[in-house]
Amino acid sequence: MSIDAHDFAYVRTLLRDQSGMTLEPGKEYLVETRLTPVAQQSGLASVHDLITRLRRHAPNALHRKVVEALIIHETQFFRDVHPFTTLKTAILPELIARRATARRLNLWCAAASSGQEPYSVAMLLGEHFPQLANWDVQLIASDISDTVLELAQQGYYSQLEVNRGLPAPLLVKYFHRQGTKWQISEQIRRRVEFRHINLIQAWSLLPPMDIILLRNVLIYCDVETKKTILKKMRQLLQPDGYLFLGGAETTLNLDEGFTKVQFERTVCYQLRP
């Protein structure tokens, strides 16, 4: 049975207020499917009972659990591949040359999910830029979901996950088998600093960023939320830094402070001079 309009409206508002994510009308089935296990784990007979309990309390751990259950965490290693090629062939060589004196580089994966994206960056740095070993490189990976952050920090991936996008030589070099899972090496895990950051709330102190990956998260937000997040990203990005969005995302008509830069098959963004 699908949830009623009143319950659906409550869940939509909760999700938007807590995460900035929008839930389109017609997604009642999704709410029902995702929240049924949460209701069961909480000893409640139905999603309606779960929502009734949520209504009675100010936002607490149960509300967070519900929000996490509704958010999409889809990701994979080297997702869409071209941005990573561009990082390797154009952007990192350029920024490394520019930062040769300071020997400092700051990178941020701002919706890192279960870690495949920041670990892809970390492997790319390890493989192609050994000179950075003596630099101060800060690679921050953040997400709103503590569940995915914990998975990311542990660095265990299923066979299916390592089959998606990860080149076999990197699997052999940087992962070891642990039962049915593959764990990414400590050498790579050490390179990534995981943090809980909700993009629509105050951010913990972050350094000026040379590279920001904000991929496949704005797509779920309404226009006002996209504008707010992009404005904050703009304030954090170095004047010669680069912002990467997902393939279906853009700054166009949202933030005129960014200008589009195209590298072959990759689109990224810089601050308008």
Ligand X SMILES: C[S@@+](CC[C@H](N)C(=O)[O-])C[C@H]1O[C@@H](n2cnc3c(N)ncnc32)[C@H](O)[C@@H]1O
The span of 1-9, 16-24, 203-211, 231-239 binding ligand X (CB under 6 A) equals 16-24
CB of 216 to ligand X, least distance (A): 4
CA separation for the pair 208, 99 (Å, rounded): 13
Q: Are strands 175-178 and 181-184 parallel, antiparallel or unpaired?
A: antiparallel
Binding characters for ligand X, 82-101, by CB under 6 A (x = yes): --------------------
Tell me whether residue 124 or residue 200 sits nearer to ligand X (CB atom): 200
Residue carrying the six token digits 């508002």: 13
Binding characters for ligand X, 168-207, by CB under 6 A (x = yes): -----------------------------xxxx-------
Instruction: Tell me if 241 sits within 8 A of 270, measured CB to CB.
Output: yes
Tell me whether residue 106 or residue 114 sits nearer to ligand X (CB atom): 114
Interacting residue with ligand X among 86, 106, 120, 216 (CB under 6 A): 216
Tell me whether residue 72 or residue 100 sits nearer to ligand X (CB atom): 72
For residue 145, state whether it binds ligand X (rule: CB under 6 A). yes
Count of all residues that appear for the chain in the document: 273
For residue 238, state whether it binds ligand X (rule: CB under 6 A). no
Tell me whether residue 88 or residue 232 sits nearer to ligand X (CB atom): 232
How far, in whole angstroms, is CA 43 from its chain's centroid?
Answer: 31
Tell me whether residue 44 or residue 119 sits nearer to ligand X (CB atom): 119
Interacting residue with ligand X among 8, 77, 106, 113 (CB under 6 A): 113
For residue 65, state whether it binds ligand X (rule: CB under 6 A). no
For residue 20, state whether it binds ligand X (rule: CB under 6 A). yes
Residue carrying the six token digits 């995460």: 19
Cα-based distances in Å from 85 to 152, 209, 243, 270: 23, 20, 15, 18
DSSP state of 201: S
Q: Are strands 104-109 and 136-143 parallel, antiparallel or unpaired?
A: parallel
User: Which sign does the torsion angle of CA 82, 226, 198, 55 carry?
Assistant: negative
Tell me whether residue 113 or residue 238 sits nearer to ligand X (CB atom): 113
User: Exposure pattern of 150-161 as b/e (b: 16+ CB <10 Å)?
Assistant: ebbeebbbeeeb
CA separation for the pair 225, 207 (Å, rounded): 22
- Using CB under 6 A, list all residues that contact ligand X: 19-21, 71-75, 79, 111, 113, 117, 143-145, 148, 197-200, 215-217, 246
